Amino acid sequence: MTDLPFADYQQPTKPAAGPRLAIVGEAPGAEEARLGRPFVGRSGKLLDENLAAAGVERAECLVANVFRHQPPGNKVGHFFSSRTRARKEGREIDERWGAFGTSDYVLAEFSGEIDHLREALAAFAPRVVVALGRTPTWALTGRNGIMQLRGSLLPCRLLDGVEVVPTFHPSYILRGQLAEQPTFLADLKLAVSRLAG
């Protein structure tokens, strides 16, 4: 399909005591592709610190990305195209998943990644999924606009009865938005609170 660098999901190494949490990012970066695992670079460190502060054991979670391939320049736009550009370039888009942003759709050659995520979620059976940034929020809920959606509880379109908590991508915080770290932690705590009961 593609020979882009690849990192698979991280399956839990420890059984959860109660309802399960899944964490979904965008796509692996260079460090993730080198080690073949998601969130092991700088973003992963920030994620791990905040998960621990929210009382989550990462070892009990499924940690996934919407796309398992590292896009050139870490630009997720690589996986999407407008109808016009796809036509010009002779490529296929898959409109099944709806528009990403105003006018882009996932390219057909990558849309199987969303089916794969759905299957992995079905196998793991989480109660709550944390969506790290706009790409997983779109893939998991069909909604666009992370700034408006973060900190809310949305139904997961990939698995019935599951709640999605969108929050910032850790790399956004690392790129000069350190003031948002308490909000990020509060969103993770919200997700954890939904596991109780």
The interface region with ligand URA, picked from 39-47, 84-92, 114-122, 181-189 by CB under 6 A, is: 39-47
Cα angle at 39 between 58 and 120, to 5 degrees?
70
Cβ 133 to ligand URA, closest distance in Å?
A: 7
Cβ 37 to ligand URA, closest distance in Å?
A: 8
Q: Is there a contact between 101 and 77 (Cβ–Cβ < 8 Å)?
A: no
Applying CB under 6 A, does 38 fall inside the site for ligand URA?
yes
The interface region with ligand URA, picked from 19-27, 53-61, 113-121, 152-160 by CB under 6 A, is: 19-27
Applying CB under 6 A, does 113 fall inside the site for ligand URA?
no
Applying CB under 6 A, does 28 fall inside the site for ligand URA?
yes
Binding residue for ligand URA, selected from 16, 27, 131, 146, defined by CB under 6 A: 27
Applying CB under 6 A, does 131 fall inside the site for ligand URA?
no
Contacts to ligand URA by CB under 6 A: 25-29, 32, 38-39, 41, 43, 65, 171
